[in-house]
Amino acid sequence: MSEAARLRYRSAGDFTAPLTIRTPCGGGIYGGQTHSQSPEAVFAHVCGLRTVMPSNPYDAKGLLISAIENDDPVIFLEPKRLYNGPFDGHHDKPVVPWSQNPMGAVPEGYYTVPLDSATVFRPGEQLTVLAYGTMVWVCDAAARESGIDAEIIDLRSIWPLDLATILASVKKTGRCVVVHEATRTCGFGAELVSLVQEHCFYHLEAPIERVTGWDTPYPHAQEWAYFPGPDRVAAAFKRTVEA
């Protein structure tokens, strides 16, 4: 139990902990093992904490305002690889700046994006993709390059989770792929797979796939080798659709 949850419990709800902590996360910047971690599953596991990870500047501002105004403590994770633009996983291509993407247009005035809300980033019919942060853009590139009509759900709020949006999509498509750049073992994707299996078992037409970072780094390999790229994601799409 976090100190925030303990504070609520011991005060019978009289006291709150309105604290928002912003922190960079994720890889793709050649930061190595000490600067490219994805710790979202650690925070999601702590009772009383909210965990948020936007995939674009528009959502980042709206979610940050909602987080600051919320009475609960919020861990606000910011993927470093997205600071400069909507990175699609192709390390050999020039960086595309946010100024060339509609989601880079951030209003100067006040607005909020609700916490605990996922969004349909890309509508589709063949399968559902659950992703967040940088992987939203990698999955979008994989869908375009593979020609698979994937519906991409951007979680935005990792915990609490917008389960209704997830289940509605999976029940529509009958197939699901979960993608995150954190390591596979005990990653948050395992929770997503479990929830989909629990609630959508009779709607699934194929096994749920996971595409994640590797548990063990390859000796002498570049960081991009661990980072789930469009090719690896597209391969999972194809296996799921053809199953």
- For the annotated catalytic residues, the residue numbers are 35
Displacement of CA 238 from its chain's centroid (Å): 21
166 burial level (CB within 10 Å; 0-12, 13-18, 19+): buried
CA dihedral over 112, 166, 212, 50, signed as positive or negative: positive
**What residue type is 235 in one-letter code?**
A
CA 139/CA 16 separation, integer angstroms: 38
Across 106-239, the runs of DSSP E, i.e. the strands, are: 119-122, 127-131, 150-154, 157-159, 176-183, 209-213
